[in-house]
């Protein structure tokens, strides 16, 4: 089992522990995304699992996921009750993790699938699911516990996949500056270079002044648009730089 798959399976188990005790009223609680209830986040996790499972099956057969498949799945899940969304999400989530674990080394090495503008391999696909699962699990957990943070087992792997996401989500603010960042637990160095019409997020040590030191899980949430002031831990450095980065990474 790869570290990514092991961390994903741990995240799946974590989500189950969080969700199984919830009653119907709690499923209707506001999740972290302002337009989703907890059941809505779970519906997204579950429908995504169904779509990705089909993507794996098609990829192993040398085929691509049909364009019409995902919209039909979303319609089906949107029609479920909150309780059905929760229960079915946990089942679909586990089923996807199980499918990932059944694929042998030879199939893994030859696997590829189109994922948006990217063509990804098998381990890349697991990594994408791990990233999404980690953040959406937090979306649920933080609604129940405002002090919740990303789990260290997932953080240690997701932190090294941020550059790919930032390439698609970062938005220029009009500033011309470089913001250097160091994370803790685990330690990493990055810099974010802002130009008039572009943003560069580089996982490389910066020669510039270190402006921010914050936990790695917080940097992940920042890049995913989930580091508002109420959910920001103690950090070192320039608060203005952190505020600008919130604008660079506004999230979905």
* Same domain, residue pair 84 and 127: yes
Share of the chain above pLDDT 70, in %: 97
State mean pLDDT over 63-82.
Answer: 96
Give me the torsion for CA of 135, 158, 154, 29, rounded to 10°. 0
Indicate if 126 and 178 belong to the same structural domain: no
CA 236 and chain centroid, separation = 25
Strands (DSSP E) found in the chain: 113-115, 118-120, 177-184, 188-194, 199-202, 210-215, 236-237
> In this structure, are 27 and 93 located in the same domain?
yes
Q: How many domains does the chain have?
A: 2
Whether residues 86 and 127 share a domain: the answer is yes
Range of the domain at 51: 3-148
State pTM to two decimals. Answer: 0.94
Biggest CA–CA distance in the chain, Å, is 53
Question: Residues 15, 20, 25, CA angle at the centre, nearest 5°?
Answer: 110
pLDDT recorded at residue 237: 93
pLDDT band at 83 (very low <50, low <70, confident <90, very high): very high
- Here the tokens at position 162 are 């941020």
Map residue 31 onto helix, strand or coil: coil
Of 147, 166, 148, nearest in space to 158 by CA: 166
| Segment among 27-41, 60-74, 109-123, 147-161 with least mean pLDDT | 109-123
Q: CATH no. for residue 225?
A: 3.30.1050.10
Mean pLDDT of all residues belonging to the chain: 94
82 and 175 belong to one structural domain? no
- Stretch 67-86: mean pLDDT: 97
Q: Of all residues in the chain, what percent carry a pLDDT higher than 90?
A: 85
Q: Does 137 share its domain with 176?
A: no
pLDDT tens-digit map of 171-229: 999 999 889 999 999 999 998 999 999 999 988 765 656 689 999 999 999 999 999 99
**The predicted structure's pLDDT at residue 128:** 94
Report d(CA 177, CA 208) in Å as an integer. Answer: 10
Residues 125, 237, single domain; the answer is no
Each residue of 71-109: b (16+ CB within 10 Å) or e? eebbeebeebebeebbbbbbebbbebbebbeebeeeebe
- CATH number of the domain enclosing 8: 1.20.120.450
Structure confidence at residue 168 (pLDDT): 84
Indicate the angle between helix axes 216-223 and 239-248, nearest 10 degrees. Answer: 40
**140 & 172 share domain:** no
């Amino acid at each position: 089992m790869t570290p990514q798959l092991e961390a994903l399976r741990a995240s799946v188990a974590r989500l189950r522990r969080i969700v199984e005790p919830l009653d119907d009223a709690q499923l209707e609680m506001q999740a972290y995304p302002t337009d989703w209830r907890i059941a809505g986040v779970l519906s997204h996790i579950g429908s995504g699992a169904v779509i990705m499972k089909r993507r794996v099956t098609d990829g192993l057969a040398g085929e691509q996921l049909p364009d019409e498949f995902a919209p039909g799945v979303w319609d089906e899940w949107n029609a479920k009750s909150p309780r059905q969304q929760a229960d079915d999400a946990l089942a679909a989530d586990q089923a996807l993790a199980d499918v990932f674990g059944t694929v042998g080394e030879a199939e893994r090495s030859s696997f590829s699938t189109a994922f948006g503008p990217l063509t990804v391999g098998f381990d890349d696909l697991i990594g994408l699911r791990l990233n999404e699962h980690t953040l959406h699990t937090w979306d649920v957990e933080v609604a129940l516990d405002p002090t919740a943070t990303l789990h260290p087992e997932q953080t240690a792997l997701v932190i090294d996949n941020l550059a790919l996401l930032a390439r698609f989500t970062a938005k220029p603010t009009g500033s011309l500056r470089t913001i250097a960042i160091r994370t803790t637990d685990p330690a990493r160095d990055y810099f974010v270079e802002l130009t008039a019409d572009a943003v560069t997020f580089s996982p490389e040590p910066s020669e510039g002044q270190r402006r921010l030191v914050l936990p790695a899980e917080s940097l992940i949430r920042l890049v995913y648009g989930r580091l508002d002031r109420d959910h920001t831990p103690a950090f070192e450095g320039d608060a203005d730089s952190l505020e600008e980065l919130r604008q660079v990474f506004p999230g979905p």
